Chain A
Amino acid sequence: MVKAGTSEKGDALVIIEPSEKREVYVESKIMAIYGETIRKTVEEETSGLVARIAVKDFGSLEWVLRARIEAAIRKFRGEEK
């Protein structure tokens, strides 16, 4: 399992775990307003990745979310080691 980001205000926490099928979970305090936009960004950035992807949003701007997803994917692929 890899994690990127934090639970601080304006940030997002992205967790990726190995899985045999692709699963995407999105959670946000502002789900009702931005849920669709967040989900769309997550789908775009993780497209084709077969894993369990969980995103907790804490009011992040789109570029922050993209940065955290990129960090998580690169860690998942073993780059941090």
Chain B
Amino acid sequence: MKLRRTRLYVPGNNPHLVENVGLYNADAIILDLEDSVPIPQKFDARILVKYSLQHVDFGRSEKWVRINGITTPYWEKDLREILPYCEVINLPKVESYEDMVIVDEKMREIEKEYGLEPREVVPIIESVKGLINAREIAEHPRVSALAWGGEDLTADLGIPRKKALILDHVRAQIVFAAKANKKQALDTVYSNIRDEEGLFEYAQRARYMGFDGIGVIHPNQIEVVHRAFRPTDDEIEDAKKIIEAAEEAEKEGKGVISLNGRMIDPPVVERARKILQFAEVD
């Protein structure tokens, strides 16, 4: 599975901000055509993003584009312009499995026309209806990860974002929906770009809630989040022992893995592998 600890949102219609995205070392860069682009700029932004994807050096970062939602008149035009050049479509305001079917159909049409490999979709759950349907949405084969957005969701619930007591419940629902389908779960952004300590705690908390990464809105947040997602020395040590025990059991043809007299189940081995994967990067 790809590392998606950080995904950096960059406004799609601002060439100056797009130019250097490859230097930031984010796991993914999201060129945004949705909320950061005012309506009169949608047309220009779509074309600029198409050129950005082809001419800017993204370094090691995955190329994502957040297109406009399917209730707008823009999403099909967005897809037609940019799909051949990006790796992942970040789809806002997804509310049902049917929404995924509609987008999938359009993507198939374009992929066939251009002879492209199928692109992944990361839907963003931003409404109560979307949250209720999150498990089904995550079932769609295009979906590789599930993300969520706090602003619209709390508005939909009719509660102020900063006072919302329900968000950890929402987070849990997103994690369950994603993990039940063996997909990644991605937490939303931490918006105070000056509070490094708060960001570290937020990201580490996201990690311990089961998320694979969070969104970031400033390049300075990237290193902090990567640090928060790095396993502790104890976790790495334990993971190494578990993997050694698993390899030992496999060599000896044993069906059961044990470590210090404790039985180790396959999901524990899987978690250990993931911890070592997280530990090895950077």
Contact = CB atoms under 8 A, between A and B. Distances in A.
B47 A10 contact: no
Interface residues of B, number: 16
Given A66-B51, A67-B51, A60 B15 contact: yes
Contacts of B41: 6
A11 B16 contact: yes
Contacts of A5: 44
Interface string B14-29: 1110010000000000
Nearest to B48: A67
Contact of A10 (B16, B44, B55): B16
Interface string A1-33: 000111011110000000000000000000000
B43 A10 contact: no
B54 interface: yes
A71 interface: yes
Interface in B12-61: 13-16, 19, 41, 43-44, 47-48, 50-52, 54-56
A4 B15 CA distance: 13
A8 B47 contact: no
B47 A70 contact: yes
Contacts of A11: 14-16
Judged by DSSP, the binding face of A is mixed
A80 B47 CA distance: 12
B193 to A, nearest CB: 20
B45 to A, nearest CB: 9
A73 to B, nearest CB: 10
B49 to A, nearest CB: 9
A10 B48 contact: no
Interface in A13-57: none
A68 B44 contact: yes
A71 B48 CA distance: 8
Contacts of B50: 67
Contact of B47 (A9, A60, A71): A71
A71 B43 contact: yes
Contacts of B54: 63
B58 to A, nearest CB: 14
Q: Which of A5, A60, A71, A79 has the most CB of B within 10 A?
A: A71
A8 B44 CA distance: 14
A71 to B, nearest CB: 4
A65 to B, nearest CB: 9
Give 6 nearest A-B pairs by CB, closest first.
A10-B16, A63-B55, A67-B51, A64-B15, A71-B47, A67-B48
Interface of B: 13-16, 19, 41, 43-44, 47-48, 50-52, 54-56
Given A6-B41, A63-B52, A66-B51, 17 more contacts: A4-B43, A4-B44, A5-B44, A8-B14, A11-B14, A60-B15, A61-B19, A61-B55, A63-B51, A63-B55, A67-B15, A67-B47, A67-B48, A67-B51, A67-B52, A68-B44, A71-B44
19 contacts: A4-B44, A5-B44, A10-B15, A10-B16, A11-B15, A61-B19, A61-B55, A63-B51, A63-B55, A64-B15, A64-B51, A66-B51, A67-B47, A67-B50, A67-B51, A67-B52, A68-B48, A79-B43, A80-B43
